[in-house]
Structure 1
């Protein structure tokens, strides 16, 4: 069976690696628009690099009055622990030589001001009662919080009322480095072929039932054929879906959202001093994507602080692609959905427009509110992050991700953005189960599955504390993550 994957980012590369690990006889080719794997949204500074497992993100635990919902947080935490199993397997196999090239232990903290202390306390009480978050700590003591996250507290007056939670075993993940190493392993050891510089223009079914992929490769028109097609091309998945003639294509449209960060290089000593990702609380009425956070980043042996995000509305499918690509992805039947989003989510539209025109002065003022004194302490500069295309489904805006698979299981794609790369192995595993179900009936594949994923059942991880701890501790040891 021949499979073509469009996009050599974290999703497409994970799909290819998993598929070949489980079924070595598959013929797999990846077509990538850029010149390297992981060079798009997966690249280190096109995302915040947080290993999302709901340790510190308030938007994963919405509060309604005195009731807090933790279901989403539990699912994301379980998914990330499935992801860590896959990455630990790659380290064990020597596909990744050193875990610190892509994953580094980084404290995950949440910091709120006086008005949100009760909410954070409620969140802590609910979450720390579950075995996923049993090591979460809570404090309202200024000095203790300062010991956790000194850069965010040093410029604040001692009398200011704050509250914080901390989990020591959080992570910073360089998804670009991870993707590159996976791609090298897939090519050198698994027999995957990657064609770089290949911009796919269209994919359609031939009369024989195979997929025909038309592309431009370094200025030359080329054509590929495959039995199965998976599109993991980020925002580029939308125009290909529209041209696929699949019956569900008309239900979906794309709503692009860009982002910027403030970035500052720091020394190794300063990195040891901070070593945290600190998430705050979004302003009232602001969307989840606006949650401010100050992050330590480890990239290629160097250290940086990242603050943001500062959202923007740019009608682009992907960073480096033009407006005409986005316009070309639109159809007349998409217009009512866009108008509906503009009306029903007018606050989001206004927010994105205001953020788009926010200058450096306003960005630094926001940094000062979050961490007083920080804007003058380091050499900050604004950087552009990646483009995320949110889903408009049945004329309404969706903030999550969705796997779409055709009825005949020959076409699959992933739409949406959050929590994205952090849960890519678990999401791609579910995609494989839908698209290639016969792979999982093979006894050798089932044995290999257990080696890669000792426990991939989310409900077991959520409901069986002993099994979760067993898996967590073994995987964390392999990845160099320890309780301190």
Structure 2
């Protein structure tokens, strides 16, 4: 075993868009300070940020109906407004990165794609109209258009309207300036710039498997490197854990009080991918529907136009699956290893209080290809089995947080955890996540420095 001990001012664990964003911000804020980014996979941005592993939606609250729940007859717009503000801030950051040369080809990262909400039935149409009326006076959504006219919606969604009954109640909102974002491409380009800087070190094929506080209040990380048996230690003044599903286990190993009571429940993702170029060309939008009654917010169906590696793609989903891995490239022992004395009640309590989620996952796991195609046909009635194939998407870990009674509750947003002495921070959770990466990392900077 190697006894090499290195030092870095800042260590960022995980090579996704969150770490790439934070690394750029630290690079600017602390010129000359040593920054080390550690990623266990061969390349940066191959997990959650990789284009096939997420929906690629530049989440701005335009079409995500789960961001605007109806409560006591009123539509709550607070999450949509907050997300819109954070996305706009993050979008401006990306443009500034392009201006400064951090992103060498922003057109490869971001494409303009309309954002559409689409619903069927009288009740859902009434809700969508009420949502539109609640949003239209807010500056972020002033360009939104609402329609219940079949022919107008057909112009927006020619593919999806084929084969529908024209007497059926349908409604849609349309925002022309929506975006499809390749978060993996953004991260890769930022890391490519950082790799050329003297004070930045990018370590791939390197796995942090332990971290502990030293007597002088620094963090000592134990790392297993690329070669079998090659271990070394790294001392740092500050550690950020942005390792997606892998963040929870590292947070537990840190031993900080702020991490107590957190648990995680892994959910794998699947997409239906269109393989027929003629069909792909007939659709140009990100279309979000409404989750069925009793289903969790994560089950919102959407049919997405994507630009991946310079090629237009069409995906429908997501379909959930169950696995005990916390990462797509993780271990089957991730879930059992995450169970500890201080979070077991959170896990059990969350499971008991969220039986609809458990039921949803059981149903999703039991689906076959034919079942998934039937769900697609609710969106696109004339979908042909031969034009679609199932592809595996990324992993997400549903965060479970201890409530005031000591039991667990599900957290559907992005959670930032900072130690009391501000020497270690971590990011847990998912959507809107990457779409608001600059705003989230700005909070980390503000809280820690």
The TM-score with structure 2 as length reference comes to 0.94
The yes-or-no answer on 1:364 pairing with 2:343 is no
Deviations 1:216-260 (A, max 9, x none): 112322211111111000111111111111112222111212211
User: Distance in 1 between the 2:233 and 2:260 partners?
Assistant: 26
CA contact (8 A) 2:275 2:389 kept: no
The yes-or-no answer on 1:334 pairing with 2:343 is yes
Higher helix share: 1
The yes-or-no answer on 1:67 pairing with 2:74 is yes
1:265 deviates by: 3.9
Give the structure 2 partner of residue 40 of structure 1: 47
1:5 deviates by: 0.5
Equivalence map 1:94-105=2 (5 Å): 94-105=101-112
User: Distance in 2 between the 1:305 and 1:205 partners?
Assistant: 47
CA contact (8 A) 2:258 2:418 kept: no
Higher mean alpha-carbon deviation, 74-83 vs 245-254, is at 245-254
The yes-or-no answer on 1:157 pairing with 2:170 is no
The yes-or-no answer on 1:8 pairing with 2:21 is no
User: Distance in 1 between the 2:209 and 2:94 partners?
Assistant: 32
Question: Where does the alignment leave 5 or more consecutive residues of structure 2 unmatched?
Answer: 1-7, 403-407
Give the structure 2 partner of residue 93 of structure 1: 100
> 2:319 aligned to 310, 313, 322, which one?
310
Total equivalences in the alignment: 434
Deviations 1:260-298 (A, max 9, x none): 11012454x765642200111110010000000000010
CA contact (8 A) 1:24 1:190 kept: no
1:65 deviates by: 4.0
Give the structure 2 partner of residue 31 of structure 1: 38
Give the structure 1 partner of residue 416 of structure 2: 403
1:323 alignment partner, SS class: coil
Change (3 A) 1:318 1:23: same
Give the structure 2 partner of residue 301 of structure 1: 310
The yes-or-no answer on 1:256 pairing with 2:269 is no
1:2 deviates by: 0.5
Deviations 1:33-57 (A, max 9, x none): 1111111000001000000000001
CA contact (8 A) 2:399 2:412 kept: yes
CA contact (8 A) 1:151 1:374 kept: no
> 1:419 aligned to 417, 432, 440, which one?
432
CA contact (8 A) 1:2 1:27 kept: yes
Question: Where does the alignment leave 5 or more consecutive residues of structure 1 unmatched?
Answer: 437-484
Deviations 1:418-444 (A, max 9, x none): 2111001110011011112xxxxxxxx
1:76 alignment partner, SS class: helix
Higher mean alpha-carbon deviation, 270-279 vs 125-134, is at 270-279
User: Distance in 2 between the 1:214 and 1:354 partners?
Assistant: 41
Equivalence map 1:316-327=2 (5 Å): 316-327=325-336
> 2:387 aligned to 364, 370, 379, which one?
379
User: Distance in 2 between the 1:158 and 1:87 partners?
Assistant: 43
Higher mean alpha-carbon deviation, 152-161 vs 103-112, is at 152-161
1:391 alignment partner, SS class: strand
User: Distance in 2 between the 1:65 and 1:408 partners?
Assistant: 42
> 2:140 aligned to 132, 143, 164, which one?
132
Give the structure 1 partner of residue 238 of structure 2: 228
1:119 deviates by: 0.2
1:166 alignment partner, SS class: strand
Change (3 A) 1:119 1:148: same
User: Distance in 1 between the 2:382 and 2:189 partners?
Assistant: 38
Change (3 A) 1:190 1:403: farther
1:357 deviates by: 2.1
CA contact (8 A) 2:109 2:182 kept: yes
> 1:206 aligned to 202, 208, 214, which one?
214
1:348 alignment partner, SS class: helix
CA contact (8 A) 2:419 2:425 kept: yes
1:341 deviates by: 1.3
The TM-score with structure 1 as length reference comes to 0.87
Higher mean alpha-carbon deviation, 70-79 vs 181-190, is at 181-190
Deviations 1:345-403 (A, max 9, x none): 01101111211221111110100111111234x62111111111122111222111111
Give the structure 2 partner of residue 111 of structure 1: 118
User: Distance in 1 between the 2:27 and 2:423 partners?
Assistant: 17
User: Distance in 2 between the 1:203 and 1:51 partners?
Assistant: 34
1:169 alignment partner, SS class: coil
1:17 deviates by: 1.1
1:33 alignment partner, SS class: coil
